Amino acid sequence: MARHHTWSAYRLEQPDNQVTCFVAGTPVRMAPENRNHGAIYFMLTKYTANRDFEPHLMIGNNFRASSSVVVDIGGKIFNMFTRDNDAWVENGRHEPALLSAIKSAENMEISGFTADGTAVKYLFLMNGMSAALHTLRQCS
């Protein structure tokens, strides 16, 4: 593991010699402030050497059923579909654009609704993201 500001890089080797690499970041601000949000992570995971990193959001509460999460990176909007407490990019063809935006961004704001109808918003600073990804450049 290597830590870069609010982002960490991980390389996991499985007993069958499969390797999974990912970076994970935590938000610096959560709204509403008076809510127990639980553990929140935005991750970019690489399961195989021939695939780019897959974006994934995990929060400590379930999302509203059949809802979307909005990712705002400098005014560029990306949508993620939800299942339980997880979210992934709705259209896989948009993943490269999201990854490109992440690599050049100063921050990223993610908003959605929890199962109880609460509007939540998370602010991630991107300082350290590029360094964390660089740590995993040889991941296979």
Q: Kindly tell me if the per-residue pLDDT of 136 is higher than 90.
A: no
Where exactly are the structural domains of the chain?
2-135
Which of residues 28 and 14 earns the better pLDDT score?
A: 28
75: helix, strand or coil? coil
| Identity of the amino acid at 132 | A
Residue 140: the pLDDT is: 60
Return d(Cα 61, Cα 78) in angstroms, integer: 21
Over range 89-97, report the average pLDDT: 92
What one-character DSSP code corresponds to residue 37?
A: -
**H helices within the chain, ranges in order?**
95-104, 129-135
Tokens (6 digits) for 83:
């299942």
Query: Tens of pLDDT along 67-80?
Result: 999 999 999 999 99
**Can you name the CATH fold of 2-135?**
Immunoglobulin-like (2.60.40)
Residues of the chain with pLDDT > 70: what percent? 96
Residue 2: the pLDDT is: 78
